[in-house]
Chains A and B, each alone.
Chain A
Amino acid sequence: MQHKVIDTKDVVIRFAGDSGDGMQLTGSLFADMSAIYGNGLATFPDYPAEIRAPHGTVSGVSGFQVHIGSEEVATPGDFCDMLIAMNPAALKANAKWCKRHAMILVDEDAFDDAGMKKAGFTTDNPFTELSVEDRTLIIAPITTMTKESLKDSGMDQKSILKCKNMFTLGIACYIFNRPLQPVYDYLEKKFSKKHPEVIAPNKKVLDDGFNYAANVQAIPNTYTIEPVKSAKKGTYRNVTGNQAIAWGLLAASEKSGLPLFCGSYPITPATAILEELALHKSLGAKTLQAEDEIAGICTAIGAAFAGNLAVTTTSGPGLSLKSEALGLAVMAELPLVVVDVQRGGPSTGLPTKTEQTDLNQALYGRNGECPIPVICAHSPANCFFAAFMAAKIALEHMTPVLLLSEGFLGNGSEPWLIPWMKDYPEIHPPFVSGVLPEGERFKPFERDPETMVPRWALPGQKGFEHRVGGLEKNHAGVLSTDPQNHETMVRERAKKVELISKDLPDLVVRGPQEGELLVLGWGGTYGHIASAIHDLQEEGVPVAYTHFDYINPLPPNTAEIFSHYKKFLVCELNSGQFASYLQGLYPQYTFRKYGKVQGQPFLVSELIEAIKKEM
């Protein structure tokens, strides 16, 4: 067989196996080494809610998709060029994601009668049964080879079997011409302290996988994906959305000079933010793992009152539990960042899957008239800036801010040009200063007439003693049930949020600045919609696109932008919540809805189809 090295622009690889097979690790190692190599990159972990679902079943399949490119990559890719399936169930669950020319690597040893039966195959040829027999099939005895590789390692059988993923990673590294050094470095760093004895065997099995692939005649071609040439100069790293949120909050803490306090309760897929913050006590971050979601937000509200940059992190069901306390933060006019990493709902829903279905809850999910700023992140790396801005708005406008992320962003990763903090804006909370004139009392809800923002006096400041709380008060902070006062306060609190719009960046339109159709998106759908728009524009379709990072209030030029188009299509991972919101604000236009509620991101192909239908 003639072996060819093919230079390709981009490639999508999907690692799939049993939820105990280590596919998340294998995929993220492959991603990290590609990032270090300098490729454009986007990842999409797709895993079940159970830690160890029934072995060998389709429901227990865990997947990790990596898209690498020689240019910047906007999405993890719709379909894959290579599928790595560690067992029959993984093949069954993922065969539909293979491109026509895809390569499929399977562990032959796992395709025994028992494995085939567990995965629900009814014939003895899984490839024909799934209609993928015409793909390039690499059927390798991965289990046997791993055992052979480590037979003299002194490791027990169970530990040896756990190294199958390293053998597989070795094969993938050969096929895509990845240097192995970054994996060695990872192994050294991870195990040098506690389990130095496992470093050498893991390296060996990785090398053996690589060499096996080089020697076996089953692999027709290998691929090179050059580093991104057009990338801006600077220091890069790979970052997940959850990590970036934690770091963005720490950045806001540094810029504001206020210590960070995070009160949270563990919940998928937001937990990693709390875990990440807990690591960074050296930057003064205090994390409190609360007894429940309500205590998470209430401890944060207490910390805000005491003058910290207060944060609580959660996902949909947790946000439901925090609703009442969020209303308290609105009423007490305290700065607070609430992060909601959205997952499939309602109720417990699809904990590990991604959706944008909490928008209505974010906008309206409280009793009384209770508006809060709602902002969102549009990519894993953008989570850093979004979190920073959430904190800046909260601290400067004395309001809780809801930051919407998504499971897709939180767990997904991409390369990030690391910024310098000196280039980030300052944060200036409206602190009181000086002393009050003799006999005068501090009025906690007296507002700046320009911004409607009250001033912030911290417990411990002499002479500014005052009370806040959930009951309606007047500007002086005295309880009041006066009808006119209540309406004044309701309107002022709403106005304060509305006026934040002045501080927001303008919307940017990609494509024709006026015309027939404007496609709208918000949050984590950015990469997919932008790719679809890019492809359509390449085809010559005159479609325009704008993406919202700020939902309440909307960017200042929103109305102006809308006035330049005839039709609007809102693409979102729900049944049309943002479209309905816009419809309420701009009844003169018709906002068409393109929604998907499957717990999965959009496919670029389905977006293209949907947009074409509107043209």
Chain B
Amino acid sequence: MANLTFKDFKSDQEVRWCPGCGDHAVLASLQRALPKVSQALNYDKERYVVVSGIGCSSRLPYYMDTYGFHSIHGRATAISTGIKVANPWLTVWQTCGDGDALAIGGNHFIHAIRRNIDINIILFNNQIYGLTKGQYSPTSKFGAITKTSPYGTVEHPFNPGSLVLGAKGTFFARSLDVELKLNEEIMTAAALHDGCSVMEMLTNCVIFNDGAHKNLSDPAVKADHTIVLRHGEKMVFGKDNEKGLIYDGKKLRVIRIGEGGFTIDDVLVHDAHADNIGIHMALADMKGPDYPVALGVIRDVKDITYDDGVRDQVRQVAAKSTIHCVDDLLRSGSTWEVK
């Protein structure tokens, strides 16, 4: 196997996102993560397929020098599912947006998660429709003023994490476009996860929703407004890791270590592999001003995958059946001879 580098994953196509768009950073992260994944799993480049729907983020397959499929609005998850079932040997990556995956493609999204098909979904969440020039999306904040909500939306947004975990997802991670290292880390973890991996990327749309995630990305406040979760590590955050998360018997609580009688020993240790989905749901739901927003791999548990199930069933049935070719099939059951 060739030693792949990020250059191997860069296509010769001109990248046409707006200057300053968060998608550039996610692309770079993926191009840097895949060589590591290839190293870890002994994958050649031709094994990768990158699939997308419609929207700004869905242009990504053109910029990857891999097999790629830029499909239609909302349907990337169904296309990815078909590719993986047809040839489980392929490793399927999917990029899609919040409107693409959660509005028009919401049905496919939740069902892929329910089936636990082994695909890796990068959900670009910029809380706006960018390519159609600025309409609200299913993740736009309540009251968001956009071109189609000039007086503010009157509908609640989805939290993608809750949706994934509500569908009993086996892998959910979250990151920010600018956090290149963390992106690479969660992308590698997603690749190693056997099953449907959803990575929510909070991306910035510089034109139609600039600064939507500023309170998470601004260096001045990000240490207080986010917490990076890593399996087996204490759930601490703040500039000097002076804050932590505890469970008070009813819910998660933010405490200051060394204050109010709390010590580092009271702070929770993140168990991404815990079967119990409740704590992961609580972590995924956290938001300001009372809580930091959780980043990193929130849930990563083992379960049977759909593609393995399909493949194994075909093998098991074939091993038992007396029908091994179409001639056998056509002559099975009731037949009669004309002599």
Chain B nearest Cβ from A582, distance in angstroms: 33
Residue interface mask B84-127, A partner, CB < 8 A = 1: 11110110000000000000000110010000000000000000
Please tell me if B83 contacts chain A, counting CB pairs below 8 Å: yes
Cβ 8 A contact of B331, one of A185, A294, A418:
A418
Chain A nearest Cβ from B69, distance in angstroms: 6
Please tell me if B220 contacts chain A, counting CB pairs below 8 Å: no
**B159 contact set on A, CB distance < 8 A:** none
6 pairs from A and B in contact (CB 8 Å cutoff): A236-B337, A254-B325, A282-B321, A284-B318, A286-B86, A459-B87
Chain B nearest Cβ from A136, distance in angstroms: 31
With A251-B326, A459-B67, A471-B70 as known contacts, state yes or no: A299 contacts B338, CB within 8 Å: no
A302 touches B80 (CB 8 A): yes
**B287 contact set on A, CB distance < 8 A:** none
**A261 contact set on B, CB distance < 8 A:** 82, 85-86
Please tell me if A332 contacts chain B, counting CB pairs below 8 Å: yes
Q: Give complex CA distance A335, B158 in Å.
A: 37
**A613 contact set on B, CB distance < 8 A:** none
**B66 contact set on A, CB distance < 8 A:** 465
B87 touches A291 (CB 8 A): no
Please tell me if B314 contacts chain A, counting CB pairs below 8 Å: yes
A478 touches B327 (CB 8 A): no
Chain B nearest Cβ from A34, distance in angstroms: 11
Residue interface mask B54-68, A partner, CB < 8 A = 1: 100000011001111
With A286-B85, A459-B87 as known contacts, state yes or no: A470 contacts B338, CB within 8 Å: no
B335 touches A299 (CB 8 A): no
The SS class assigned to the A binding surface is: mixed
Chain B nearest Cβ from A15, distance in angstroms: 19
Cβ 8 A contact of A478, one of B13, B54, B318, B323:
B13
From A42-50, A227-235, A353-361, A489-497, give the one contacting chain B.
A227-235
Total A residues in contact with B, Cβ cutoff 8 Å: 73
Please tell me if B132 contacts chain A, counting CB pairs below 8 Å: no
Q: Give complex CA distance A550, B280 in Å.
A: 57
Q: Give complex CA distance A420, B80 in Å.
A: 36
B338 touches A231 (CB 8 A): yes
Please tell me if A436 contacts chain B, counting CB pairs below 8 Å: no
B86 touches A259 (CB 8 A): yes
Chain B nearest Cβ from A326, distance in angstroms: 10
Chain B nearest Cβ from A614, distance in angstroms: 39
With A295-B78, A462-B44, A462-B46 as known contacts, state yes or no: A237 contacts B69, CB within 8 Å: no
Instruction: Kindly state the interface size class of chain B when it binds its partner.
Output: 35 or more
Chain A nearest Cβ from B44, distance in angstroms: 7
A234 touches B318 (CB 8 A): no
Please tell me if B324 contacts chain A, counting CB pairs below 8 Å: yes
Please tell me if B27 contacts chain A, counting CB pairs below 8 Å: no
Residue interface mask A462-506, B partner, CB < 8 A = 1: 111111111100000011000000000000000000000000000
Please tell me if A89 contacts chain B, counting CB pairs below 8 Å: no
A283 touches B325 (CB 8 A): yes
B330 touches A298 (CB 8 A): no
Q: Give complex CA distance A238, B329 in Å.
A: 13
**B41 contact set on A, CB distance < 8 A:** none
From A92-100, A303-311, A591-599, give the one contacting chain B.
A303-311
A460 touches B87 (CB 8 A): yes
Q: Give complex CA distance A291, B337 in Å.
A: 43
A421 touches B89 (CB 8 A): no
A236 touches B336 (CB 8 A): yes
With A283-B329, A459-B49 as known contacts, state yes or no: A290 contacts B318, CB within 8 Å: no
B13 touches A236 (CB 8 A): no
Chain A nearest Cβ from B274, distance in angstroms: 28
Find residues 279-298 in chain A having any chain B CB closer than 8 Å to their own CB: 280-286, 288, 290-292, 294-295, 298
A307 touches B323 (CB 8 A): no
A238 touches B86 (CB 8 A): no
Cβ 8 A contact of B86, one of A234, A236, A306, A441:
A306
Please tell me if A32 contacts chain B, counting CB pairs below 8 Å: yes
Q: Report, nearest first, the 8 A-B pairs whose CB atoms are least far apart.
A: A302-B82, A469-B70, A282-B321, A298-B78, A299-B82, A303-B86, A467-B68, A306-B86
